[in-house]
Amino acid sequence: MRPQPPVLRTLDAALAGELTALIARASAAILAIAPNTRATRLKADRSPVTVADEAADAVIAEGLGRILPGLAVVSEESRARTPSLGATFALVDPLDGTKEFVAGLPEYTVNLAIVTDGEPIAGFIAVPALGLMFRGIVGRGAERLTLDPASAPVAIRCRRNPGRLVAAVSRSHLDAATATLLDRLDVGERIACGSALKFCRIAEGAADVYPRLAPTSEWDIAAGHALVAAAGGVVTAPSGAPFRYGRAARDFKIPGFVCWGDPTRQVRSTD
């Protein structure tokens, strides 16, 4: 009989520690892949994948099955096998930023979000090449630590910047609508990087806003959404309205979002 899936409203310290260690192990699996084996192939949806994506996915799938038996897991690399979603489920991108990984850039991440009733309640983002981990439990705060299991976490929080904005922007997916919005905002500096690392820059106070007005997948942003929310920021639809995760009927696609470190400064993309 299949185990009854848990319904989680928050994560205690023990569970957060187990999931942190799991994402660290997935990071180690990626780092163990030799550079000369990073060649990509195209999946059915024409997106790239490498053996490193699959290695990290296998580690996370095994770990979640052991730590949270019965939990539905929606992963970019195995979503065709996704079971029916319960009230709580996981969203996983085992290697976010495959293009950066193949190019030898250190900006790729490993993303894990725990979602309950359509809202991300916890997010874990590892940056393997930089030796960093970010985690956030909504309502309990956000932290940065290293992939060294003996490292002590450091509390992080989004900043309240009354001056010109620092915008985190995609290195390879900056669409025209997003560029137009950035031109309308009072942006003094743009930080270009790949993957969910942009959410980490918001959560730690290095950037103020991260917009993306083009479609993306839930596993790309759910962990970052939870991290930023735990650090005091907000992620909304471009209209400023909240949105929900677990939209299986739409292939887990989000039409766009805007992430703000300071919720009081948010504006709609149509303002």
pLDDT digits (tens, 9 = 90+) for 152-204: 999 999 999 999 999 999 887 788 999 999 999 999 999 999 899 999 999 99
The pLDDT of residue 98: 87
Return all residues near 60 (Cβ < 8 A) that are at least 6 apart.
22, 23, 26, 73, 75, 92, 94, 110, 112
The pLDDT of residue 79: 66
165-265 in CATH: which number?
Answer: 3.40.190.80
pLDDT over 60 (residue 18) = yes
- Portion of the chain with pLDDT greater than 90, in percent: 76
Q: For residues 84 and 8, which has the higher predicted lDDT (pLDDT)?
A: 8
The pLDDT of residue 266: 80
Q: Pairing relation of β-strands 209-212 and 257-260?
A: antiparallel
Q: Measured between alpha carbons, how far is 267 from 271 in angstroms, rounded to an integer?
A: 7
The pLDDT of residue 113: 98
Least confident of 48-62, 77-91, 123-137, 231-245: 77-91
Give the domain ranges of the chain. 13-156, 165-265
The pLDDT of residue 4: 77
Q: Measured between alpha carbons, how far is 42 from 2 in angstroms, rounded to an integer?
A: 33
Residue 133, both tokens: 């981990």
Q: Measured between alpha carbons, how far is 7 from 152 in angstroms, rounded to an integer?
A: 29
The pLDDT of residue 3: 77
In this prediction the pTM is 0.94
pLDDT over 60 (residue 1) = no
Could you tell me the pLDDT band of residue 258, with boundaries at 50, 70 and 90? very high
Q: Pairing relation of β-strands 72-75 and 88-96?
A: parallel
Q: Measured between alpha carbons, how far is 68 from 211 in angstroms, rounded to an integer?
A: 33
Taking domain 13-156, whether its CATH number is 3.30.540.10 is answered by: yes
Note the pLDDT tens digit of each residue in 196-218. 999 999 999 999 999 999 999 99
The pLDDT of residue 43: 65
Could you tell me the pLDDT band of residue 50, with boundaries at 50, 70 and 90? confident
Residue 18, both tokens: 């187990």
Q: How far is CA 187 from CA 29, 58, 133, 210, in A?
A: 38, 41, 28, 11
